[in-house]
Structures are given as C-alpha cells and as structure tokens.
Amino acid sequence: DAGVIQSPRHEVTEMGQEVTLRCKPISGHNSLFWYRQTMMRGLELLIYFNNNVPIDDSGMPEDRFSAKMPNASFSTLKIQPSEPRDSAVYFCASSLQVAGLDTQYFGPGTRLTVL
Amino acid sequence: GENVEQHPSTLSVQEGDSAVIKCTYSDSASNYFPWYKQELGKGPQLIIDIRSNVGEKKDQRIAVTLNKTAKHFSLHITETQPEDSAVYFCAASIRTGNQFYFGTGTSLTVIP
C-alpha cells in the first residue's frame, strides 16, 4: 500500500500567488482530512470530506482557502491569494469510515513557504 | 466541542528509562483515543490507539491507559531508545468518521 500521497513536498511562492496542494488518499478510504501544522498553533483541522462531500469546513481560516474532492482518489487545497502567514506544513489524512476503523493515516505533508 | 490537553510539552529521559505522556479530554462522548508519533520532516504516524470500552492496551514497549471517569488517558513507553525521540500527539474522537481533536504535542528526547 502506497499510503497517502501528497504533492508537492515543498512549495515556495511569493505573496499573492495561487497555491494548489494535492492529495491522493489510501485506496478504499472514504474520509479525507486537511490539516495545517505550525509551531504556534499545532495541528489544526481545516476541512474534512466523507464520500467526497465536505462535512465540516469551519477550520478553513479565510475565503482565500478552498478545498475540493472531485472523486474518491483525489483532493486539492487551494490558497488564492497566498500570504506569508499561510506558511506552514499542510497534511492530508484519510480513513475508512466504518465502525471500529476510525484511524486516520497521514501523508508526508507539503511544506509551504510564502515569501 | 472537545478540548484535549497534553502534558508535558517537552520530556527528556535517559535511554532505558520509561516515559509517560498524559492527556485529558472534556467531552464524555469521546470514545476513540489514538496516539501519533511524528518524526522530523514526516507526517504523524499512528503508534497505538484505545477505545472507550477498554482500560488498557499494550504493544511491546508501548502501552496506553484510559480512565473514562476522570477523562484522561496516558501513553507509556518503557525501555526507551534513541529512536523513540520524536513529537507525540494524543487525540480524541467522538464517533466514527468524525474529526480528531489533537493535543498540542510532547517533544520526547531520549538521551543515549
């Protein structure tokens, strides 16, 4: 099993530019989560999907952030326009929503630097 | 919503000693408590988990205990090794498929 795949692993961009982060969940999983990790705020849940439908996006910091899951094997997190305070590591995680099998499996993350 | 507190934020132990990390949660409806280990430059990896119908679970050198009455759970690592050095996160979840509420992390350093 390849695990959760994220791309790119590192992204450096300038303020104002659009950034798109990508995630491929584990095959067969039906829940997908986007997290942001910073030293100051720790791990923050941004949004999560069940069966490709966004369930809770209350963690999305601003309208500049948007996420989509067009199918069960792909999701994107977009920041437009990006700002320096968006610099963080962004993680995608997936799980199988079946009773007794809640475990979330994390990808390696995308380290975003906005200059 | 759920609030998870984790202590200590940093922990240093000598190789071979035990390490204990404690978490408390606020919502009595929480029923799933995973622990994750995050090494530098990597994503969090599940190391052990426990459900509310179990008081203790052990996997080799790692064990987790749960006290539902007091709403706290702990991670125990025995015979620590340098490769145990990492940041450890606890989490709580109310129901299947729902979001995890993470603690703030404990940076564990095992001194050879």
Q: Is A91 on the interface with B (CB under 8 A)?
A: yes
Contact B96 A56 (CB under 8 A): no
The answer to whether A101 and B95 have CB atoms below 8 angstroms apart is no
- By residue count, chain B amounts to 112
Of A48, A91, A97, which is closest to B96 when you measure between CB atoms?
A97
The answer to whether B50 and B33 have CB atoms below 8 angstroms apart is yes
* Predicted confidence (pLDDT) per residue in B53-87, tens digit: 888 999 999 999 999 999 999 999 999 999 999 99
Find which of B5, B32, B96 to mutate to test the A interface (most A CBs within 10 Å of its CB): B96
Question: Which sign does the torsion angle of CA A91, B4, A84, B37 carry?
Answer: negative
- Please compute the mean of the pLDDT values over residues A35-58 and round it to a whole number: 91
DSSP A26: P
pLDDT at B96: 54
- Whether the pLDDT of residue A90 is over 70: the answer is yes
Q: How confident is the model at residue A53 (pLDDT cuts 50, 70, 90)?
A: very high
Q: Is A108 on the interface with B (CB under 8 A)?
A: yes
- Whether the pLDDT of residue A8 is over 90: the answer is yes
- Give the integer Cα–Cα distance in Å for B7 and A33: 25
Task: For strands A105-106 and A42-50, give the pairing.
Answer: unpaired
B1 by Cβ neighbours in 10 Å (0-12 / 13-18 / 19+) ranks as exposed
- Give the integer Cα–Cα distance in Å for B33 and B75: 11
Q: How confident is the model at residue A110 (pLDDT cuts 50, 70, 90)?
A: very high
Is pLDDT larger for residue B52 or for residue B6? Answer: B6
- Give the integer Cα–Cα distance in Å for A69 and A49: 8
Establish, for the pair of chains A and B, how many residue pairs have beta carbons separated by less than 8 Å: 49
Find which of B23, B90, B99 to mutate to test the A interface (most A CBs within 10 Å of its CB): B99
Please name which of B3, B8, B2 lies closest in space to residue B75, comparing C-alpha atoms. Answer: B8
Strand, helix or coil for residue A49: strand
- Which of A59-63, A73-77, A100-104, B62-66 bottoms out in mean pLDDT, i.e. has the lowest? A100-104
- Give the integer Cα–Cα distance in Å for B59 and B51: 15
Query: How does DSSP assign A51-110, residue by residue?
Result: TTEEEE-TT--STTEEEEEEETTEEEEEESS--GGG-EEEEEEEE--STT----EE---E
- Give the integer Cα–Cα distance in Å for A11 and A21: 9
Cis previous bond, A8, omega within 30 = yes
- Please compute the mean of the pLDDT values over residues A72-91 and round it to a whole number: 96
- Give the integer Cα–Cα distance in Å for B76 and B63: 5
